[in-house]
Amino acid sequence: MHLSKGKKISILVILILMIDQIVKILIKTHMTIGESIHIFSWFQILFVENNGMAFGMQFGGTIGKLVLSLFRIALAGFIIYYIRKLIEQKAPTGILVGVALILVGAIGNIFDSLFFGLFFSESTPTQVATLFPDGGGYAPFLFGKVVDMLYFPLIDTTLPDWVPVFGGEHFLFFRPIFNIADSCITIGVIYMLLFQRKFFISASPSTSGGKSESGS
Mark whether 161 is an active-site residue: no
Nearest CA among 171, 147, 148, 176 for reference residue 159: 171
Buried b (16+ CB within 10 A) or exposed e, 170-182: eeeeeeebbbbbb
Catalytic residue chosen out of the listed positions 112, 156, 161, 182: 182
Residue 170: which H helix or E strand, with range? Answer: strand 170-173
Catalytic residue chosen out of the listed positions 112, 148, 156, 161: 148
Cα–Cα distance list, 142 to 109, 113, 118 (Å): 11, 5, 9
* 122/33 Cα distance (integer angstroms): 10
* 168/69 Cα distance (integer angstroms): 42
Mark whether 182 is an active-site residue: yes
**Dihedral sign, Cα of residue 176, residue 179, residue 181, residue 184:** positive
Nearest CA among 196, 198, 154, 152 for reference residue 177: 152
User: Which of the residues are catalytic?
Assistant: 148, 182
